[in-house]
Amino acid sequence: MEDCLAKKMEIAVSEAEKRTGRNAMNMQETYTAYLIETRAVEPQSEGQCAPVDSLWRRYSEFELLRNYLSVTYPHIVVPPLPEKRADFVWHKLSADNMDPDFVERRRIGLENFLLRVASHPVLCQDKIFYSFLTQEGGWKEMVNETGFQLKADSRLKALNATFRVKNPDKRFTELKHYSDELQSVISHLLRVRARVADRLYGVYKVHGNYGRVFSEWSAIEKEMGDGLQSAGHHMDVYAASIDDILEEEEHYADQLKEYLFYAEALRAVCRKHELMQYDLEMAAQDLTSKKQQCEELATGTVRTFSLKGMTSKLFGQETPEQREAKIKVLEEQIQEGEEQLKSKNLEGRDFVKSAWADIERFKEQKNHDLKEALINYAVMQISMCKKGIQVWTNAKECFSKM
């Protein structure tokens, strides 16, 4: 495995801070800034620990970085950012971007993003990325100087355009289909999970009412009083326990969300292939038609209908000199076209090769990560069940003393 940045450098997004400033339209705005801390892993001389470097970045700068990476490395499945706005929320969760819980989860998500990029064999070597981590001032300008914005606009258009590719690599077609389905199923899962969380919250919280009524009831009882009172306390504990349980589950939801957004990145790579392939096919088609035209002009036979041919028939044929000129132009174009086609072909094949390599890497990562996520989810459920058994066993004991 190539030595990636993550091995040489510790990276962390350690803090989040509310800031106020003026935006591009000179209006006051509130935003959150995140502290990125980095430290070289190799021990410095004299056995001391390397110093920690840090700088502040806001979400929009992360977005800029990712856009740059997506455009510059279209054959790579670029790691996604945590969601821009809180989505798939259930009632207890705030949809407010400034909500501390949301900010905290975002902090973790941003750190995860940086670590993903830093451990990617190709992306970690990017200088813009390195500067993002280490250079506070002038980074934005540096990014813009790469001129990636131009590519970005056309890329965006292309990603959304509809066109028909005649001969795509079947693997990419299948993969695009897979990424669409994956997005759909994970979205569905996250939506239902949020509703499940909402309902579960309700079940637990209503039990808290037992606490109060048992306490009130115990006041009029003699022998039963103590048992009721202490059982009521356990009902309160039960009701309160759901908050931590669901908070932990949000982490699982975040893991799913990452792969929801990863599916988008995967789709983008497939589209890029389709784009290139389409481009190639168009170029080939163009070349063929030019060759044909040339041939027709040279032999004088009109095999295909053309408006020019018709008009020339109606209004008189061209002069031999004119024809010669045309043929020459066409021959030049054909020459150019063939060279372009050759390079496009090469580009296409290179793209397919390197993209597929990254896709294989991504698949392995995805399978590993999602398995881990499912295991963690099961562990969370087990913990919740054990807590439930504990509380009800305690309550049962109190009831037995009634």
Partner 1 sequence: AAGAPKPLPSSGPKSLREMPHPLATSSSEEMGPALTPSPDLLLPRSIADKDLSLPNGTPVDTSSPASSSSLLNRLQLDDDLDGETRDLFVTVDDPKKHVCTMETYITYRVTTKTTRAEFDLPEYSVRRRYQDFDWLRNKLEESQPTHLIPPLPEKFVVKGVVDRFSEEFVETRRKALDKFLKRITDHPVLSFNEHFNVFLTAKDLNAYKKQGMALLSKMGESVKYVTGGYKLRSRPLEFAAIGEYLDTFSLKLGTIDRIAQRIIKEQLEYLVELREYGPVYSTWGGLEVELSEPLEGVSACIGNCCTALEELSEDMTEDFLPVLREYILYSESMKNVLKKRDQVQAEYEAKLEAVALKKEDRPKVPTDVEKCQDRVECFNADLKADMERWQNNKRQDFRQLLMGMADKNIQYYEKCLTAWESIIPLLQDKPETK
Say if residue 372 is exposed, middle or buried (CB neighbours under 10 Å; 0-12, 13-18, 19+): exposed
Phi, psi at residue 353, to the nearest 5°? -65, -55
Can residue 153 be called a binding residue for partner 1 (CB under 8 A)? no
Beta bridge partners of 163: none
Can residue 389 be called a binding residue for partner 1 (CB under 8 A)? yes
- Out of 23, 288, 304, 393, the only residue in the binding site for partner 1 (CB under 8 A) is 393
The distance of closest approach from Cβ of residue 121 to partner 1 in the complex, given in angstroms and rounded to an integer, is 22
Name the 3-class secondary structure at 60: helix
| Separation CA 211–CA 236 (nearest Å) | 6
- Out of 84, 91, 140, 371, the only residue in the binding site for partner 1 (CB under 8 A) is 371
- Out of 98, 325, 346, 378, the only residue in the binding site for partner 1 (CB under 8 A) is 378
| Separation CA 107–CA 12 (nearest Å) | 9
The distance of closest approach from Cβ of residue 368 to partner 1 in the complex, given in angstroms and rounded to an integer, is 9
Say if residue 262 is exposed, middle or buried (CB neighbours under 10 Å; 0-12, 13-18, 19+): buried
Say if residue 327 is exposed, middle or buried (CB neighbours under 10 Å; 0-12, 13-18, 19+): middle
Task: Print the binding letters for residues 198-237 with partner 1: x by CB under 8 A, - otherwise.
Answer: xxx-xx--xx-xx--x--xx--x--xx--x---x------
Size of the site for partner 1 (CB under 8 A): 49
The distance of closest approach from Cβ of residue 203 to partner 1 in the complex, given in angstroms and rounded to an integer, is 5
Task: Print the binding letters for residues 161-200 with partner 1: x by CB under 8 A, - otherwise.
Answer: -----------------x--xx--xx-xx--xx-xx-xxx
Can residue 260 be called a binding residue for partner 1 (CB under 8 A)? no
Locus of tokens 């997004």: 13
Say if residue 232 is exposed, middle or buried (CB neighbours under 10 Å; 0-12, 13-18, 19+): buried
Residues that bind partner 1 (CB under 8 A): 178, 181-182, 185-186, 188-189, 192-193, 195-196, 198-200, 202-203, 206-207, 209-210, 213, 216-217, 220, 223-224, 227, 231, 367, 370-371, 374-375, 377-379, 381-382, 385-386, 388-389, 392-393, 395-396, 399-400, 402
